[in-house]
Structure 1
Amino acid sequence: MTVELGHLALILAFLVAIVQMIVPMVGADRGWSDWMRVAVPAATVQFILTLVAFLVLMTAFATSDFSVKLVAENSNSAQPLIYRLSGTWGNHEGSMILWMLILTLFGAMVAWWGENLPPTLKARVLSVQATIAVAFFGFILLTSNPFVRLDNPPWDGQELNPLLQDPGLAFHPPFLYLGYVGLSMAYSFAIAALIEGRVDASWARWVRPWTLVAWVFLTIGIAFGSIWAYYELGWGGWWFWDPVENVSFMPWLISCALLHSAIVVEKRDTLKSWTILLAILAFAFSLIGAFIVRSGILTSVHSFANDPERGMYLLLILAAFIGGSLTLYAWRASALRSDSVFGMVSRESGLVMNNLLLVTATFVVFVGTIWPLVAEVATGRKVSVGPPFFDLAFSPFMIAIAVILPVFAVLPWKRGSLARSVADLRGALVLAVVLGGLAWTFETGRSLLAPVGIALGVWVVAGAIAEMLRRARLGEVPISETWRRLRNLPRADWGKAISHSGFGVTIFGIAAITAWAVEDIRAVQPGESFDFAGKTIRFISEEPVRGPNYSAERGLVELVENGKVVAILHPEKRVYDVQRMATTEAAIDRGITRDVYVALGDQQADGSWALRTYVKPYANWIWGGAMLMALGGVVSLTDRRYRVGAPARKARPAAVPAE
């Protein structure tokens, strides 16, 4: 009966969403305040009902209720509890409930914390958010019901995909969905603004925090997925340009552009039409991602489903929301014109260039992702687009962004001097060139990748620091005054500096690991050792071990540096009991400047074992930089302007009736 309660909660949430979609929108159009106020309790009730459905499904997984078809197909009683719980969203149907939980949560948060929003805008925002909910509740109830019962339940389940039985994959999807689905809030604000025909600085202050929240979670989610791929798949790679990786990366790029564009709307009341378009595109790419993951049109290890019926339903949702919003945009865009002007050399111009580079880079990733499908439809031949294409076509745009970022960040609004801005950054420029030259010396002429990447990373980080010190007037006023000025800078400025620094750190890590990583693959007998990259690797032994739901061969490997054992590593080769699927569990000795990565392969005919060993310089700087970017977003969110939004309008005194 409990499972049926979850199904009922979904149906009721669907009905509430229909009410929330219609009543507040009509109220805003007619000026009926009572109808507009329906949006707040409706958003709250919708979230509570969805939460009930999600908790019911999670309980079924936690208790191994194999009478539920979804549990029987995606869980097993021998799995550790964390993987039984993560099995709730480790499949198509359950992940859609998580999607809806986050969608309704964002709507409820606007209802709870949107007191400063104009009533008509708030009503329309919540109505648009409910429209998205109606579409996806309908999708779940018609094609993806997670609460289907089995007439003859099995004694035990088929087990969660072994690749997903990992702590990184337990937390990666929720963070990713908080980013994906959180961008629906920017979309709802954009559509509400188009309906009202008004976009101004206040609108930008309202929409920016919601976009920033989504961007922070998306950054963390992508980083978690990259870390998982690095240690779980046994290849030592951190990004593979897989189609599903790409569809999470594209909304991230667009949301970066949106955040920067919203700054221009807030500060200079221009780029309004462009900012609205970016808000639409950010969520559009999230919908495209949902379609690719769940339709099966592109092959990926991350895909959830291969169902033409579901794919067609999602395609209709995609067409309705993207087509409808772009039609509304085309109709209303002329009303969003601005008379503000700015020079070719100005902060506005820098942000425009930043946006164009980010959007073009997104387009490159999009073309590379869907090209195999287009080529197969057009020619009937299967075509593969892999890392060489993306590395060659995508990298120049990121390099260009890194080059211009510090310069345009210090330019004043409206018009400025490029020479003066570069002069303000001469210390950062000298440091970048010196460290890049030092890297080139160590490279001994092998490749420009590491020196250029290191120089760019240092340039971005040092540029962010130089901008903050320039604003604090270091060298122009006493140190105590400089310190006071630094403390009093807005938190949004501190957040920007931290995020830009994180971007530079990530560039540094990518360049270092790409240029300097080394690998060794060989067959090794137990007791044998070999030298590799200035280290000695001793393969001591191998022994069978037993896990809760798998059997494994576990290696014992000593890492020796300068004659001392610095780490004992235990790489494993696992075979899961139910699906009989083999996975590689790499053992990694992590360090600030390098990772030593060991993966155990198959046993050979002569009794030796295949051993893959990698040295990955500065690998952790990639994810450390990503977390710095996310931290910068969190710091920006604590800025008073974005915590409280625009000031509430003062209520007019009530008119005194004539006697």
Structure 2
Amino acid sequence: MIPEIGHFALVLAFCSSLLLAGVPALGYALGHHTLLASANRFALLQMALVTVSFVCLAAAFLRDDFSVSIVALQSNTQLPAHYKFTALWGGHEGSLLLWVLILAGWTAAVALTGKHIPIAVKAVVLSTMGAVSVGFLSFMLFTSNPFERELIATPADGQDLNPLLQDPGMVIHPPMLYFGYVGFSVAFAFAIAALVRGRLDASWARWARPWTNIAWAFLTVGITLGSWWAYYELGWGGWWFWDPVENASFMPWLVGAALVHSLAVTEKRGAFKNWTLLLAIFAFSLSLLGTFLVRSGVLTSVHSFAADPTRGLYILGFLFIVIGGSLTLYALRAPESAFRPTFAKISRESLLLANNILLVCAALVVLLGTLFPLIMDYLDLGKYSVGPPYFNAMFVPLACGLALLTGLGMFSQWKRTRDLKTLVREPLVLALITALVLPFAWGEWQWLASLGLFFGLWLIFASVRSVVHQTRNAATRLSGLKRLKLSYLGMICAHIGFGVAVMGVTVVSLYSSERDLRMAAGDALDVGSYRVEFRGTAPVTGPNYAGTQGDIRLLRGGREVAQLLPEKRRYHARGDQIMTEAGIDAGFLRDMYVALGEPLGDSAWAVRVHYKPLVRWIWLGGALVALGALLAVMDKRYRLQRLQEEV
């Protein structure tokens, strides 16, 4: 009975999304206040109904209702309760319901906040988001029903959740990623509202900016968690693989970063209006493209969902409608004007424009590398594979230029920048000297290491120098810091995070070491400055798996510094699928990473030992970037409830 209630609630949610998409739009066309005001009620109704549907599906998973097809495919009676809940979004249909729930949540949040936004603007925004909901809800109901029953051949125990997904990262990574993906729909809706109304002033940018920052922060957290999860869960010791599905989330992040900066120019100076509108359209469009890539079945990836071609065609059609419709509206309503800059060549506007161009170029590089094999295969021109060599060769130079411009941008002023050379001299020289010396800390000087460290240190030192400059007239540095705006502190935090991440990527890429060892109980080998002792193995049993756990001791200077317990697990319900769980001694300056390979006979095992310097700095940098975006939202100028604009 509970699945039927959930399905019925989903049908009603679809009806409410149709009303949300249509009634306020009609009210805008007729100038009817009551119809415009109905948008809030329909948005909240849609949220309530989707929540009921989600709760019903969660109950089906927690109650082991294997008559529901996706419960039988994604869960098992032996699965721990928290994984039974997260198994809800472990497959195609359930993850799509989570997507729709988050979309309904963003829509309801817009409805409940922004009381000073003109009712006509808000109605068009909510109507646009309702139209997006119509697309996804119809996709669920007609091709991907999460409540589909299998009453004839109901299994007794269920197939079980993919072992890769039986991890704490599964609890938070997908929701964070989806919050970011779907959050760009708000900026998209504000852009559409601006085009529909024909008012491309700074007001829409002021309304859209905090929502965009929040969405971009969530996407940053999601990508960072995904990198960390892959690092410790897959047993490879890597943190980024340029996997097509990783790229699917990275592309909207890059365009979203450009949008965050472009919105600042549009709000502050009224410039880049058309460009900012395009970025808002493209950021959400790339989020939809990611959905198509993950769910269409065209990609082979550990992250993707198996899906039949019908689903892929539906999403592709929806993608064309959204992108084609929004670009057509843009072509019809965006003003035609020659570009007449009102700022100097060296100004904050020009540097942000260059920043935008590099970010969009980086997104295009990733898009080309992701889609090229698919296009060539579709045209019957052969099988191609685009891997890290292409992405590193094309992306890294753009990232270096971006880091350089980001540092310069912190010292720039609107319209015209003065004394730039004086302000950048100290951080530039300090970063250069430190970068030339620092690689010796890892035993060997490499020019690539110095180059990467220079850009990371430049961002950090430039950020500190900017704060010193901003507080130069205060009685004390502390009193000066207290007067700084949260939006400025957010910018500084994000740029420092970017620098920290650049340093982490540089050092771990160039100074990591890996040893593949044959070890039996009692064996000990030296790996760098550490001694690795293998004490043997022991059986280990979990709720739905059995395996072998290694006991490895890490010593330095004759003193034991860590006990590492890597595992080899065999999941029974998944056809004895084998998974590797790494043992990691985590540190601020380095990780020691140990994974069990295959048994080699005579009680010996293949053991892989990695030394990963500064790898944690990558995720620390991501966390600081996300924190910076959230700090900017907390600035009193961008608090949603205080946004005001004349009708």
Calculate the TM-score normalised by the size of structure 2.
Answer: 0.98
Query: Which shows bigger deviation, 616-625 or 438-447?
Result: 438-447
Q: Deviation of residue 406 (structure 1)?
A: 1.4
Please name the residue that 1:197 is paired with.
198
Structure 1, residues 501-557: CA drift from partner, whole Å, max 9, x if none? Answer: 100000010001011111100111111000001110000011111111001110000
Please name the residue that 2:498 is paired with.
503
- Tell me the amino acid that sits aligned with residue 550 of structure 1: Y
**Which runs of structure 2 are paired with 1:329-368 in the superposition (5 Å)?**
329-334=330-335, 341-368=342-369
Question: Any idea what SS the aligned residue of 2:379 has?
Answer: helix
Q: Deviation of residue 465 (structure 1)?
A: 1.6
> Which of 609, 614, 621 matches 2:610?
614
The CA distance in 1 between the partners of 2:615 and 2:525, in whole Å, is 23
Please name the residue that 2:19 is paired with.
19
Query: Which shows bigger deviation, 282-291 or 147-156?
Result: 147-156
Please name the residue that 2:558 is paired with.
563
Q: Deviation of residue 425 (structure 1)?
A: 2.3
**Which runs of structure 2 are paired with 1:225-304 in the superposition (5 Å)?**
225-304=226-305
Asked if the contact 1:491–1:636 (Cα under 8 Å) also holds between the matched residues in 2, the reply is: yes
The CA distance in 2 between the partners of 1:498 and 1:636, in whole Å, is 10
Asked if the contact 1:197–1:335 (Cα under 8 Å) also holds between the matched residues in 2, the reply is: no
**Which runs of structure 2 are paired with 1:54-73 in the superposition (5 Å)?**
54-73=54-73
Asked if the contact 1:250–1:285 (Cα under 8 Å) also holds between the matched residues in 2, the reply is: yes
Matched, 1:588 2:584: yes
Query: Which shows bigger deviation, 295-304 or 276-285?
Result: 295-304
The CA distance in 2 between the partners of 1:443 and 1:80, in whole Å, is 43
- Tell me the amino acid that sits aligned with residue 459 of structure 1: W
The CA distance in 2 between the partners of 1:265 and 1:443, in whole Å, is 45
Please name the residue that 2:407 is paired with.
406
Q: Deviation of residue 335 (structure 1)?
A: 6.0
Asked if the contact 2:117–2:643 (Cα under 8 Å) also holds between the matched residues in 1, the reply is: no
**Which runs of structure 2 are paired with 1:174-185 in the superposition (5 Å)?**
174-185=175-186
Q: 1:623 to 1:590 in 2, by over 3 A?
A: same
Matched, 1:467 2:466: yes
**Which runs of structure 2 are paired with 1:516-531 in the superposition (5 Å)?**
516-531=511-526
The CA distance in 2 between the partners of 1:422 and 1:68, in whole Å, is 66
Q: 1:322 to 1:175 in 2, by over 3 A?
A: same
Q: Deviation of residue 426 (structure 1)?
A: 2.1
Please name the residue that 2:135 is paired with.
135
Q: Deviation of residue 396 (structure 1)?
A: 0.6
The CA distance in 1 between the partners of 2:642 and 2:269, in whole Å, is 16
Structure 1, residues 428-460: CA drift from partner, whole Å, max 9, x if none? Answer: 112211210112445676532221111111110
- Tell me the amino acid that sits aligned with residue 236 of structure 1: G
Q: 1:172 to 1:211 in 2, by over 3 A?
A: same
Asked if the contact 2:72–2:159 (Cα under 8 Å) also holds between the matched residues in 1, the reply is: yes
Asked if the contact 2:114–2:642 (Cα under 8 Å) also holds between the matched residues in 1, the reply is: no
Query: Which shows bigger deviation, 104-113 or 144-153?
Result: 144-153
Please name the residue that 2:382 is paired with.
381
- Tell me the amino acid that sits aligned with residue 584 of structure 1: T
Asked if the contact 1:402–1:456 (Cα under 8 Å) also holds between the matched residues in 2, the reply is: yes
Asked if the contact 1:269–1:340 (Cα under 8 Å) also holds between the matched residues in 2, the reply is: no
Please name the residue that 1:483 is paired with.
478
Q: Deviation of residue 479 (structure 1)?
A: 4.0
Please name the residue that 2:437 is paired with.
438
- Tell me the amino acid that sits aligned with residue 245 of structure 1: E
Please name the residue that 1:656 is paired with.
none
Q: Deviation of residue 170 (structure 1)?
A: 2.3
The CA distance in 2 between the partners of 1:524 and 1:385, in whole Å, is 36
Matched, 1:575 2:550: no
Question: Any idea what SS the aligned residue of 1:542 has?
Answer: strand
Q: 1:175 to 1:43 in 2, by over 3 A?
A: same
Structure 1, residues 17-61: CA drift from partner, whole Å, max 9, x if none? Answer: 111111101111221110000100000000010011011101111
Please name the residue that 1:426 is paired with.
425
The CA distance in 2 between the partners of 1:445 and 1:76, in whole Å, is 51
- Tell me the amino acid that sits aligned with residue 268 of structure 1: R
- Tell me the amino acid that sits aligned with residue 107 of structure 1: T
Structure 1, residues 287-313: CA drift from partner, whole Å, max 9, x if none? Answer: 000000000112111111231000010
Q: Deviation of residue 607 (structure 1)?
A: 3.1
Matched, 1:116 2:111: no
Asked if the contact 2:117–2:645 (Cα under 8 Å) also holds between the matched residues in 1, the reply is: no
Asked if the contact 2:92–2:307 (Cα under 8 Å) also holds between the matched residues in 1, the reply is: no
Please name the residue that 1:50 is paired with.
50
Question: Any idea what SS the aligned residue of 2:237 has?
Answer: coil
**What's the % identity of the aligned pairs?**
46
Please name the residue that 2:107 is paired with.
107
Matched, 1:545 2:546: no
Structure 1, residues 255-293: CA drift from partner, whole Å, max 9, x if none? Answer: 000000000001100100000000000000000000000
Q: Deviation of residue 639 (structure 1)?
A: 0.4
Q: 1:507 to 1:207 in 2, by over 3 A?
A: same
Please name the residue that 1:657 is paired with.
none
Unpaired runs of at least 5, structure 1: 652-659
The CA distance in 2 between the partners of 1:636 and 1:442, in whole Å, is 36
Structure 1, residues 468-508: CA drift from partner, whole Å, max 9, x if none? Answer: 221112xxx4642x433321121100101000110000001
- Tell me the amino acid that sits aligned with residue 453 of structure 1: G
Please name the residue that 2:636 is paired with.
640
The CA distance in 2 between the partners of 1:649 and 1:583, in whole Å, is 56
- Tell me the amino acid that sits aligned with residue 28 of structure 1: Y
Question: Any idea what SS the aligned residue of 2:271 has?
Answer: coil
Asked if the contact 2:210–2:640 (Cα under 8 Å) also holds between the matched residues in 1, the reply is: no
Question: Any idea what SS the aligned residue of 1:334 has?
Answer: coil
Please name the residue that 1:655 is paired with.
none
Calculate the TM-score normalised by the size of structure 1.
Answer: 0.96
Q: Deviation of residue 121 (structure 1)?
A: 0.7
Please name the residue that 2:451 is paired with.
452
Structure 1, residues 368-394: CA drift from partner, whole Å, max 9, x if none? Answer: 001111122234421111011101111
CA RMSD of aligned residues (A): 1.5
Matched, 1:92 2:87: no
Matched, 1:624 2:620: yes
Asked if the contact 2:191–2:204 (Cα under 8 Å) also holds between the matched residues in 1, the reply is: no
Question: Any idea what SS the aligned residue of 1:149 has?
Answer: coil
The CA distance in 1 between the partners of 2:474 and 2:125, in whole Å, is 49
Asked if the contact 1:215–1:252 (Cα under 8 Å) also holds between the matched residues in 2, the reply is: yes
- Tell me the amino acid that sits aligned with residue 116 of structure 1: H
Matched, 1:328 2:329: yes
The CA distance in 2 between the partners of 1:316 and 1:631, in whole Å, is 36
The CA distance in 2 between the partners of 1:440 and 1:92, in whole Å, is 46
Question: Any idea what SS the aligned residue of 2:608 has?
Answer: strand
- Tell me the amino acid that sits aligned with residue 198 of structure 2: G
The CA distance in 2 between the partners of 1:335 and 1:36, in whole Å, is 30
- Tell me the amino acid that sits aligned with residue 162 of structure 2: N
Structure 1, residues 87-124: CA drift from partner, whole Å, max 9, x if none? Answer: 01110000010000010111111100021111111000
